[in-house]
Every structure is written in structure tokens, then in C-alpha cells.
Amino acid sequence: MERLEQLQLGKSVLENQIIDLQYKIDRFELEEGDYIEEYDDLIDECGLVYIGGVSFLPSQILCKLDPVAYNCGLSDYIESIDLTESEEYNQLTNELEELEQQLNNYEREINKIEFEELDEFVNELNTKKTNNYKR
């Protein structure tokens, strides 16, 4: 019985870890700061802008002259990124898969022990029943 209780406690701990991790995954958002350079590169693909013989990057112009438009574009860009491209997101989902596998292992072991205990109980009943018939 002690082994079963240990497994059930371990299962409970894993279930709580899975709930916490799933919560993090469900609310995961990409960090804007991690994608500014990519966004700027996208804007700058158009090439340099020359004003009075001086060259500027389009991303610099947009950021300085219309920061609201720049930030809206950056937000739109980040929303278009597939979360699975994020290493941090993938680490969370991999960890979740590992925890779920561990949980499955615990459940199999618990079921095995419970079946063995039930089998022992049935055998005891059958033995008692047989002994009662012999009397």
C-alpha cells in the first residue's frame, strides 16, 4: 500500500506541474524586444532613403517620425510569427510532453498495483468461499 500512496502523491505533484506549465503555455507571448531587429530588417529591405544627400534607414525614419505607426507595425509583425518558431515556447511544450509522459507512467504503475490488489482480494474471497463450502 505504501508504494501505491507514493505513486499517487507523485501523480498529484505531476498533475499540478502540468497545470502550471499549461497555464504558462496558454499565456505565452513573444517579447517585442527580441524581434525589433528582425522587424527593422524587414522595413529596411526597401533600401536607404536619401534626404539632402544624407542616407537614412526606413526603419529609423518611421521610428522617429511616427513611433505609433512603428510600434503598431512591430506588434502586427510579432503577432504574425508562429509561436513554434520561439525557442522558449518550444522548451515549454517539450517540458509539458515530458511531464505528460511521466504522468502516463505513474498512471500505468498505479493501475498495475490496483489490479494486483484487486486480484488478491478476489482470490481471498474465492478461498473463503471455497473453505465455507468445504465445511
Tens digit of pLDDT for each residue in 49-74? Answer: 999 999 999 999 999 999 999 999 99
pTM: 0.69
Give domain limits for the chain: 1-30+90-135, 31-80
Task: Judge contact between 59 and 43, C-beta under 8 A.
Answer: yes
Task: Judge contact between 32 and 78, C-beta under 8 A.
Answer: yes
pLDDT in tens, 24-34: 999 999 999 99
